[in-house]
Each structure stands twice: as C-alpha cells, then as structure tokens.
Amino acid sequence: QVQLHESGPGLVKPSETLSLICAVSGYYISSGYYWSWIRQPPGKGLEWIGSIYHSGNTYYNPSLKSRVSISVDTSKNQISMRLNSVTAADTAIYYCARSHYYYDSSGYYYPYHFDYWGQGTLVTVSS
C-alpha cells in the first residue's frame, strides 16, 4: 500500500523559507510517476504548487514559480519542497500526492490523476 507522509515546521515567520518533506513508503519513487505538492488554505479550495518526476523533470504553478523549488531524493525515497519569502497568504494545509502521467505528441509527459495523497500538514505563517 502506497503511503505518503508530509512533515515540516508548523509555524514559519513571514519572509522566511518554508521547507517540507514528503516521505513515501510502499513504492519506490525511482520506479515512476510524478510526485506533486498541493495546498489548501483553511476553508478554501485546492491549489496546485508543482510536480516532479523521479528524473527531475518539474512543473510549477506560474503564480508560485519564482518562490518555489521541488526536489526528489531517491536514496531516501522522499520529495522536498521549499517556498521562499512566505507571507500569511501561504498559510495552508500542504499535501503531497502521487500522479499518473500522459504523453503529448511532442513527447512531453504531464501529471494528472492524483491517486495517493498524504494526510497533509498545516503550516501557519505568523510572527
């Protein structure tokens, strides 16, 4: 059974960097699939942050691209996310999820169908 577990600081000060880890068990990241970060502000809808393939191919939300970085560590079987210069607007539950992918005619492959999700971790940005 594939399981994902997010961890990180529950509280981050404004202007600092948020760092989260998603530990994966029951599946080797290097075997395939995209791995994604998605967040949800309290009481609001979902917002896709970005996705990474085990080879390192990444896609980011254009609205966050200048501040976010996602990486994969196959030796630890985990995915990491860093979000710089955080503000109160970044307060949210952060989820990691496994994604299937499809190819387009140009050979690009894109994530879709997020099939396994973690429980999420709440991050509050406050001084």
Binder of other proteins out of 31, 66, 106, 127 (CB under 8 A): 106
Query: Locate tokens 């990486």: which residue?
Result: 71
Burial class (CB in 10 A: 0-12, 13-18, 19+), 31: exposed
Report the residue number, 13 or 44, with the smaller CB distance to other proteins. 44
Token couple for 35:
């791995």
Report the residue number, 15 or 119, with the smaller CB distance to other proteins. 119
Binder of other proteins out of 10, 42, 45, 56 (CB under 8 A): 45
Rule CB under 8 A: say whether 37 interacts with other proteins. no
Rule CB under 8 A: say whether 118 interacts with other proteins. yes
Q: How far is CA 66 from CA 30, 41, 127, in A?
A: 27, 20, 23
CA distance linking residue 20 with residue 72, whole number of Å: 12
Give the residues lining the site for other proteins (CB under 8 A). Answer: 44-48, 51, 59-62, 95, 97, 104, 106, 108, 110-115, 117-120
